[in-house]
Structure formats: C-alpha cells, structure tokens
Amino acid sequence: MKFILASTSKYRQALLKRLCIPFTCESPEVDETPYPQEAGDKLALRLALAKANAIANTHSGEHCYIIGSDQVAVVNDLPVGKPGNFENAFKQLRQASGQSITFYTGLVVINCLTGKTFSLLEPFTVKFRSLSDTQIANYLKIEMPYDCAGSFKCEGLGIALFEAMEGRDPNSLIGLPLIGFLELLRLQGFELLDHLPID
C-alpha cells in the first residue's frame, strides 16, 4: 500500500515521518478562500476533503491512500490565517494574549482502490498567557512563525506563550493529528504496527 500526502508542508511531512511509513507528497491545487460566513470547523474539513480529492482523482483505482489535512484557527468565532509577516503576526498574538484559540484540523483519508473516503475533525484549544508587546516581539524575532496559523510553533519556543493546552493530540496543532490518522486507517482494516518496514 502506497501513501500520498496531499500537501508539501514541511511540518506535516515531519509528523508523517514519525510513523515509519514510506510516503510521497503531491501539491493539490485548491482554492482555500472561505465561503461567506463559513465556520472555521466546516472550512477545515471542506479544504481537507478538497485537497485529498484533488490528488485522488489522478490515482483512481491504484493501491494507495491519499491523506488530506487542513487547519483553521478560530478566535472569537473568527478564522485566523497564516500571518505572512512580522506585523500581522504581532497583531495576531496581541489579539490572542489572555484568550483561548481553538484550532480545527480536518483530516481525510481516501482509499483509491476502494474509492472510500474517511474523515474526522480534530479540535484543540490553546489558552494564551497575558503577553506584553516586548514578549510578543521577542518571540517573533526568534522563531519567525509567519507561515503558521496563529503565529506560533508549539513544537518550539511557542510553548512559552501558553498557559494551558486542551485536546487529545498535540500533533494536530502542527497540522496532522496522528492519533486520528491511525484511527482512520484502522477503520479500513490497516493496522500500522502490523505493516512496519522491519527487515
């Protein structure tokens, strides 16, 4: 069985490598523009499905799994995107200071051989400490998380921004909930620990 990650995200690739399974990556061409008044959880799942389908369409009938994932951060019921630069990241973290942010990660696994699609939505909430402007600026200058929704990297120095974390899988904060992914594989009869590449 072949695995294809419908993403070129270095963060998702690093997570998937932890599972010791060979995989390739393909970049899906998907318009990620939210629909008017689209809730963050619905957006994350819709985009994950769109990404997986975009790649699955070129592998129909093949013996492979397509993995699609998308993450949306929500503050005060409003989606928060990737900041792109220092100024936007500073605004995001200042808004997040003392607040809770919920990250919704949509995950889709498509079995190209059977045509079946399995999906889930993984929520994870982060409670931010009250942060000074100096603390925010210092963090951003060191880690520069401008390609990360919410303007932080929880696997790095970003942990210093938090007061608490709530959810079953912190990997979902990085963009790929591994516990949920393995669940979706088991629903299709694939148990990872029975298929590890051991000599």
Looking from the CA of 26 toward its CB, the CA atoms found within 13 Å total: 20
2-194: CATH number: 3.90.950.10
Q: What is the pLDDT of residue 80?
A: 82
- Active-site residue identified among 31, 70, 133, 169: 70
Q: What is the pLDDT of residue 1?
A: 77
109-167 pLDDT, tens digit per residue, is 999 999 999 999 999 999 999 999 999 999 999 999 999 888 998 888 999 999 999 99
Spatial contact of 97 and 136, defined as CB atoms under 8 Å apart: yes
Domain boundaries, the chain: 2-194
Q: Is 70 a catalytic residue?
A: yes
| pLDDT (average), residues 65-83 | 89
Q: What is the pLDDT of residue 197?
A: 75
Phi and psi for 121 in degrees, rounded to 5?
-120, 125
Looking from the CA of 88 toward its CB, the CA atoms found within 13 Å total: 13
